[in-house]
Amino acid sequence: MTSLTMAKHLSLESLILFIIVAFPFFSAFAAAAASEEAISLLEWKATLRTRNNSVLSTWTLPSSKTSPCSTWHGVSCNSFGSVTRLNLSVSTVNGTLNPEKL
């Protein structure tokens, strides 16, 4: 095996090892971010003036460290579980979003 081929092989092995070792840390970070986003959305929900609160009845703090993306009405997320979009256009919610929470 030439030294160039060996270097490529070692480089690939190093990359695979890094991914295996780093994945749990990235997963934990994503879960923490999703939980923080859920809490921020719940704080915002508490300030809303709405005629029909049942629209946001799915917005509850999950018992596990799941993202609000899977069950919350009007919430869309990326593949990492971070909130990317709110679509409450068919609801009657009315209020102000605090820019510090963005």
pLDDT, position 45 = 84
Sign of CA dihedral 31, 36, 37, 39: positive
This prediction has a pTM of: 0.59
Q: How confident is the prediction along the chain (102 residues), in pLDDT tens digits per residue? A: 555 554 555 566 666 665 666 555 554 444 555 678 888 888 888 888 765 667 788 888 766 656 677 788 888 888 877 888 888 887 777 777 777 766
CA distance 81 to 72: 12
